[in-house]
Structure 1
Amino acid sequence: MTDRSSEAADLTADSPAEPPQDESPQDEPRMTVVPDEQVRRSHATPSLEPQSQDDAADEDFFDGLGERLSAASTRLRQAFRRPDPDEVQVPHVEGYRGAEDDADEQYGPDSVNGGDGLYSPAEDEDYPSQDAAWDTDASTGPRGFWADDVVEEATRADTDPTRRESIIPGLNDPEATQSIPVISATTTRNSRISLPKPPSAQPDEAVAEETESSGRSASEERRRAVILEKAAAIEAVAEQERREAQERADSGVDDDGAYTYIPPYNLPSRDPEPRPRATDMVRQAVVTLGVVAAAASVLVMWDSAMFIGDGFTDLVDGWYSGQQALLTPSHWFYWFWPLVVVTLLGHAVHQWSTSQISTPRQRRTGWLVALASILMLVWVLAVRADNLTLAALAALAAALALIDCIRQFTLRTARNSAERRLTDGPVGLFTGFAMVHAMGSLSAWLTAHNIHIPGVPDTVWALAGLAVCIWLGALYSMTERGRITIALGLGWGMFWLVFPRLLSDLQSVTVAIVAAMGAFIIILATQSRRHRINYAERRAAMGRPVDDII
């Protein structure tokens, strides 16, 4: 760097100070002398040891691991926290939002903030924020607006008295008394502040109008006639609009041209959760004990070798092997029971969460789910003890209890996906399994006791029982949006009923065909209902008619 600077200085010294007049300045290059102290010296970049990708990944993973674990534990604690008796639990509802939810999207549900209809982000993050919005009542007019807007208007009013008079008429009048809202340090943006209503019309105007009515001139009478004529025309137009609005409502079209969609099931409830009672904890404990009993039944079945063919052949004289009664499925059917128990374990954990402590759905169905789970353990023990009558009664009672559970679920629709997956899903699988299980147990008991009507073939009895089972399965699997879990549980049982009727010594091609067609029809109909409802809700959200597809 120093050699180059010296060479540049020598060249500059040898060159003339000014170029000759006869030479063009473009022919001679110009060079600038840079002082040595202004030259920035370059240094070699120090070599760093390469860092392996594994070390970088480890640092990224372990950085903040403690904070993440603490946040996860806090969320878990909050999910299973038991609320205070006076605390109001607002349910989180998912699904289709109809026209009646428009007010909720603007101001929030009526249950938030003690029922005043005001929006609070701490209650529900799904509602859009409002920078400045009036809380309007149809009877009393505006009631208030956001706190920061009050502060801004108050600041402007301090400097402009006429603005104060325009905001609150009569404020500058010393004889008028007005209630000015107080803004404290605790006032936040989400606070609403009530302002006094503007004074109504003075009664002196009505009195003056009454006194001058006797001395009206002819021009005033004509003016009055014109006003009455215009009022009559306005009333006629309003009546015509009312009739048109009624016609649009009858045809399913709203005022804005959108079609009204009425779902073919009960909408989820938006009411706050009832206060927890002492019986709620007892119910949760009983449901948990019922699921533990169901898990114990799986262990007993495994110990008794019921999951292999020799187990049911040796127990209760082989009536549950699928080879002695027309409606008893193969032993492979009972492999579905461990899967049902796993889903019931998830349901037992979910019903301890804060949102499920006092919900009406759990209060109505928790005892029934626990009863059905305990009855399955009773059935396993009865089969192991060769008691066919007790086994049939336990299987039939479990199926009836679960059918009542589905009926309660239909009356009270699931509010979100967690309830559908962890409550309706496990109980639906259990119900479909229990229907086929009760049908097979009853068929084995009737055949073992030789109960039949003389002159009626056993195939007719089998088809009648099969028809009842398929009808009940189709009836309850097509409730709400379509309970595919019931159809899957029942279809599994029908599938393993086909093979014994075709390959065992007790054959019946008619029963096999009806069972296969019944399983196919139930699954197809349930899936069709789910597709049609989802499609209708999408069309309703886009404002299109849905009468032609429902």
Structure 2
Amino acid sequence: MASPAPTSADRARQVGVTVSEVLCVLGTLVGVGVIGGTEVPESSGGALAADATLLAPAGAAFSIWSVVHAGLAAYTLWQWLPGQATDERYRQTGWLAAASMLLNALWLLVTRQGWIWVSVVVIAALVVVLGVLVRRLTEHPSFGVVETAVVDGTFGLYLGWVCVATCANVTAALVSSGVDPGPPVSEVWAVAVLALVAGLGVLLARRLDGRYAVALAIAWGLFWIAVGRATDEPRSTVTAWAAVAAALVVVVATARRKGRYRGPVDDSTG
């Protein structure tokens, strides 16, 4: 049976996603200093640098963005394939994907301006958008391994990483505003935030039926927080171990949930 003809709304969505991806790429080039010369860690008075707070991930953590951006580019091309325009899965998630790309670019731009608290609002909105998007992907499952990797894998990694980045962003904003009680109180706060991240990871595992991409991205961010606190200033053994424990909690919770859930696709990247 032939697919129904795309509507004007379908075509508008596809174009909107594509334009948003182009703007996201341009924003990324600004963020890494290719355009404008100042990288994100050097902006906002260094508030987002790898050694700025107890919850700042080590620099290598940000290499996950390369995977996410490659996935977003692949998704943008994928949604143009025949039949995708009228697929309910893309109708339900396309504009959310576009919004996530625009929010990504906006976050980079506001941090370059030093608007650290505005960046908190933007990244919080990004988490909400991605959470709704991945939930809708769960409600409209993929039936192919490639689609699962390109779509579910990309947005799962994106969501998981941004959850960790949001906590780091809020902490950076507080410290840059002078809210820094110093050790040992700051370490207690850091452990409490890491417990919150672990709780969020468990909640996402339950609500999203155990998506490994989300869990692995959260664990990735937490691992590099641990590395940062073990090898760089401000050093904190307590924070490092708490980050490792939080990562394990998220991965185990996701594996347990995945073991109970049997969706239409037996693929661990989603």
Of residues 126, 136, 147, the one that matches 1:408 is 136
- Distance in 1 of aligned mates of 2:41 and 2:145: 42
Q: Which has the higher helix share?
A: 2
Q: Which residue of 1 aligns with 2:6?
A: 276
Contact 2:134 2:208 in 1 (8 A): no
Q: 2:209, 2:52 → 1: CA distance?
A: 39
Residues 1:378 and 2:114 are matched in the alignment:
no
> 2 CA distance for matches of 1:412 and 1:500?
38
Per the alignment, residue 490 of structure 1 pairs with 218
Q: Give 1:297's match in structure 2, choosing from 16, 19, 27.
A: 27
Q: Is the alpha carbon distance of 1:327 and 1:371 closer, same or farther for their aligned partners in structure 2, counting shifts above 3 Å?
A: same
Q: Is the 8 A contact 1:320 1:441 kept in 2?
A: yes
1:319 to partner: Cα distance: 0.9
CA–CA distance in 2 between the matches of 1:304 and 1:502? 31
Any conservation in 2 of the 1:497–1:515 contact (CA below 8 Å)?
yes
Give 1:443 shift.
1.1
Distance 1:281 1:312, change over 3 A: closer
1:318 to 46, 54, 66: 46
**5+ unaligned residues in a row in structure 2: which ranges?**
none
Question: RMSD of the alignment, in Å?
Answer: 2.9
Alpha-carbon displacement from aligned partner over 1:88-109 (angstroms, at most 9, x marks no partner)? 63xxxxxxxxxxxxxxxxxxxx
Check the 8 A contact 1:365/1:408 in 2, yes or no: yes
Residue type at the aligned position of 1:462: A
* Post-superposition CA distance 1:157-199 (Å, at most 9, x none): xxxxxxxxxxxxxxxxxxxxxxxxxxxxxxxxxxxxxxxxxxx
CA drift of 1:513 comes to 1.1
1:444 to 172, 183, 201: 172
- Residue 406 of structure 1 contacts residue 476 of structure 1 at CA under 8 Å; is this kept in 2? no
Deviation at residue 521 of structure 1 after TM alignment:
2.8
Q: Does 1:470 align with 2:198?
A: yes
- CA offsets, 1:200-239, max 9 Å, x none? xxxxxxxxxxxxxxxxxxxxxxxxxxxxxxxxxxxxxxxx
Could you tell me which of 97, 105, 110 is aligned with 1:369?
97
Find the aligned partners of 2:29 and 2:54 in 1 and give their Cα distance: 28
Q: Relative CO higher for 1 or 2, CA cutoff 8 Å, sep ≥ 6?
A: 2
Q: 1:481 Cα shift?
A: 5.7
Gaps of 5+ in 1: 1-86, 90-272, 539-550
The alignment status of 1:347 with 2:81, answered yes or no, reads no
- Cα distance in structure 2, aligned partners of 1:524 and 1:312: 33
SS of equivalent to 2:83: helix
Alpha-carbon shift at residue 470 of structure 1 (Å): 2.0
User: Are residues 464 and 358 of structure 1, via their aligned partners in 2, closer, same or farther at CA, if it must alter by over 3 Å?
Assistant: farther
Larger C-alpha radius of gyration, 1 or 2? Answer: 1
What amino acid is aligned across from residue 226 of structure 2 in structure 1? V
| CA drift at 1:497 | 0.5
User: TM-score, normalising length from structure 2?
Assistant: 0.84
Distance across 2 between alignment mates of 1:318 and 1:459? 21
The amino acid that maps onto 1:298 is T
Q: Is the 8 A contact 1:328 1:439 kept in 2?
A: no
Is the contact made by 2:210 and 2:257 (CA closer than 8 Å) also made in structure 1? yes
- 1:408 and 1:363 map into 2 onto residues whose CA distance is 10
2:73 and 2:206 map into 1 onto residues whose CA distance is 25
The sequence identity of aligned pairs, in percent, is 26
Q: Distance in 2 between matches of 1:313 and 1:340?
A: 19
